[in-house]
Amino acid sequence: MINGVDAAVLIGCLGVAAVVAVPRHEQAARDVRLLEVTALTRGVNTAAQLAHSRWLAAQQPPTIDGVRGVVAMTNGYPSPATLPLMLAAAETVAFVYDAGIWRHAGRSADQACGVYYQPPAAPGQNPVIGAQTTGC
């Protein structure tokens, strides 16, 4: 049986463990989100470049075939609406996509944690692809 003193010591030990474990868990979760954003940023860049290469090889058609469907092209790169079709579903499972921005599903809309994509404004330019990590 546990007496009052033993119970107080046990509760104190659990409290100390919680104080140590919670911040470590939060840091580990943040590290995972940062790695997921980095991986998706690289995947989006690769997908955009692959689409551009296919577009050039096919003599610049208005659409190309992506991994998951037909991809509309804008100035030689995928449109924001159809770029996700160049990515495997597993690459984006931790994200919510809306108009060129993949927001990490573990963060709220007002937290900057994700990847953004914007096709080039004119032919011959490159798309803008980047990571938002301040809110991860």
The pLDDT score that the predictor gives to residue 4 is 58
Which stretches within the chain are classed as H helix?
A: 4-57
Task: State whether residue 17 is helix, strand or coil.
Answer: helix
Q: What is the pTM (predicted TM-score) of this model?
A: 0.81
The pLDDT score that the predictor gives to residue 109 is 87
Kindly list the averaged pLDDT for each block of 10 residues, start to end, along the chain of length 136: 54 48 76 96 97 96 94 97 94 94 93 96 96 95
Task: List CB contacts of 117: < 8 A, sequence separation 6 or more.
Answer: 44, 48, 80, 83, 100, 101, 127, 128, 129
